[in-house]
Each structure stands twice: as structure tokens, then as C-alpha cells.
């Protein structure tokens, strides 16, 4: 995919944005049309991890339009997953001209890392989060009512959880780049960990769609683990590249150091 020049008039920037958004939309729509025909098999795969919690494994559709709506949503969900490398590349490529030449070499590894982390988050959600979340939710009903498994309700929660954990697993990259580019000093991340942990708790409560404390606590634990891993890797890179003193640098300090090298 071609990269636009660093300096363009505003209308050219908007045209570039429209072009990249068009590529994303066309790719997702074409993929969704193809995937639509495989949605029955994909839905069976989706409920495989929550079948035990459903106590019977049977989904119900309560409206005439429900079947089409569910299949369309599932097709769109999987097309976004399949097209995620294209989506990530097009978004990053739009901002690529603003980066310095030495910073651009990080783009391809970043795209690969973002895709890998996105899929890793979804896999973690599939095997760990889905059974725990649905098991807890359905246990709240069993003592006083029979739960009718509304297909649209179940699959909506399922897809939101998958997307949520896929995005949550992008956190290490965000922390890593903020640190190594000194946009936020490493020392600040390390010294303000209490505030960060509270923010993670609030974020976990807001973004988990099932209002389950099990899901919220699992996401909170995952965010903390990813945060600490990202900081450990960032520290290693900063010290290896600029020395231990660089852990305290701001962006101005970093720019001054780069200027002094010229």
C-alpha cells in the first residue's frame, strides 16, 4: 500500500483518509458476504465453549427477522477479525507520514504485533473468559427460573467480549510506545501505578458487556499483567538504547538528545 507524503493540504489529507476508509469498508463488506454462508458452522463453534453453561446447548430465536439479523452480525464480526491486518495497516499507514524516518521502521513489526495480540486476546477470551462469564451469569437464574437461551442476546455478549479482550490486549503496545518515545516518561508510569490500577478497574467495569464481576476481575487482572510486561520490555529497550538515565526523560529531553547527535 502506498504511503502519502508527510505534508499535504487539508483536503488531500481528507481524501487520503477517505481512500483508506473505503478500502477497509469494501474489504469488510466483501468478506462478510462470503462469510455469511458459513455462519451456521461458525455459530456452532462460538457456542462450543459455553454449551455446558447453557445446560442443553440450544439457542432460540424469537422473531422472524432474528435469524437473518444474527447471521449478519456474526458474518460482520468474523469479517472484521479476518480483515484485521488490513484495518490495522490502513489506520497506521494514514499516520505514517507524520513519523520520522527512523521511527517508520517500527511500523511493520507494530502491525504484526497488533494482529498477534488481537488474536491472542480473542483466544484467551474464548478458552478462559467465555465459560467463566456465562457460567456465572446463568447460575444466577437456575435457582428460581428456567433460562431460555435467546440466540441474539447470547451471541451479542459473546462477540462484545471477544472484541473487548482483543482490544484490551493492545495495551502493551500503547504503553511500550508511549514509554520508548518518551511521550510519557517511564518513571511516571512506574511511580503512578496506583492511579493506573484504579483506572484499569474502572475500565474493566465499563467495557465488560455482561456486568459480571467474574469477567470484570479477570479483565482487570489481565490488564495489570499486560501493563507490567509492557513496562518491563520498555525498560529493557530504553536502557539498552539510551542508558538508565533515559528512564526519566520527557519527550523534550529525547528530542534534545537526538538534536545533539546531529
What is the domain partition of the chain in residue ranges?
Answer: 1-169, 170-262
| pLDDT at residue 205 in the model | 84
Confidence check: pLDDT of 246 > 80: yes
Burial class (CB in 10 A: 0-12, 13-18, 19+), 246: buried
pLDDT in tens, 107-142: 888 889 999 999 999 999 999 888 888 888 888 887
| pLDDT at residue 235 in the model | 93
| pLDDT at residue 106 in the model | 81
Average pLDDT over all residues of the chain: 86
Confidence check: pLDDT of 146 > 60: yes
Radius of gyration, CA atoms only, the chain: 22
Q: Across residues 94-100, what is the average pLDDT? A: 75
| pLDDT at residue 26 in the model | 96
Report the C-alpha gap between 12 and 3 in whole angstroms. Answer: 13
| pLDDT at residue 1 in the model | 46
Whether the Cβ atoms of residue 200 and residue 227 lie closer than 8 Å to each other = yes
Q: Across residues 224-242, what is the average pLDDT? A: 92
Residues 6+ apart with CB under 8 A from 108: none
Confidence check: pLDDT of 6 > 60: no
Q: Return the residue matching grid coordinates 465488560.
A: 208
Q: Return the residue matching grid coordinates 488481537.
A: 118
| pLDDT at residue 262 in the model | 64
Confidence check: pLDDT of 217 > 60: yes
In the chain, the N- to C-terminal Cα span, in Å, equals 32
Amino acid at each position: 500500500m502506498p504511503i502519502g507524503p508527510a505534508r499535504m493540504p487539508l483536503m488531500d489529507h481528507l481524501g487520503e483518509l477517505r481512500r483508506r476508509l473505503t478500502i477497509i469498508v469494501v474489504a469488510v463488506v466483501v468478506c462478510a458476504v462470503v462469510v455469511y454462508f458459513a455462519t451456521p458452522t461458525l455459530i456452532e463453534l462460538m457456542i462450543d465453549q459455553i454449551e455446558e453453561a447453557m445446560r442443553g446447548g440450544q439457542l432460540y430465536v424469537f422473531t422472524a427477522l432474528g435469524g437473518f439479523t444474527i447471521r449478519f452480525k456474526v458474518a460482520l464480526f468474523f469479517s472484521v477479525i479476518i480483515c484485521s491486518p488490513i484495518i490495522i495497516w490502513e489506520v497506521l499507514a494514514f499516520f505514517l507520514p507524520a513519523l520520522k524516518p527512523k521511527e517508520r521502521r517500527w511500523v511493520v513489526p507494530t502491525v504484526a504485533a497488533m494482529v498477534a495480540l488481537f488474536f491472542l486476546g480473542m483466544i484467551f477470551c474464548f478458552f478462559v473468559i467465555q465459560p467463566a462469564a456465562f457460567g456465572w451469569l446463568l447460575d444466577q437464574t437456575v435457582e428460581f427460573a428456567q433460562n431460555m437461551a435467546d440466540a441474539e442476546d447470547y451471541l451479542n455478549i459473546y462477540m462484545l467480549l471477544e472484541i473487548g479482550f482483543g482490544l484490551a490486549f493492545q495495551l502493551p503496545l500503547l504503553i511500550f510506545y508511549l514509554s520508548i518515545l518518551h511521550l510519557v516518561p517511564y518513571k511516571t508510569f512506574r511511580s503512578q501505578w496506583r492511579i493506573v490500577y484504579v483506572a484499569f478497574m474502572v475500565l474493566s467495569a465499563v467495557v465488560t458487556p455482561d456486568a459480571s464481576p467474574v469477567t470484570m476481575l479477570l479483565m482487570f487482572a489481565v490488564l495489570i499483567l499486560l501493563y507490567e510486561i509492557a513496562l518491563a520490555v520498555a525498560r529493557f529497550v530504553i536502557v539498552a538504547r539510551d542508558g538508565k538515565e533515559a528512564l526519566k526523560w520527557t519527550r523534550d529531553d529525547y528530542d534534545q538528545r537526538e538534536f545533539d547527535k546531529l
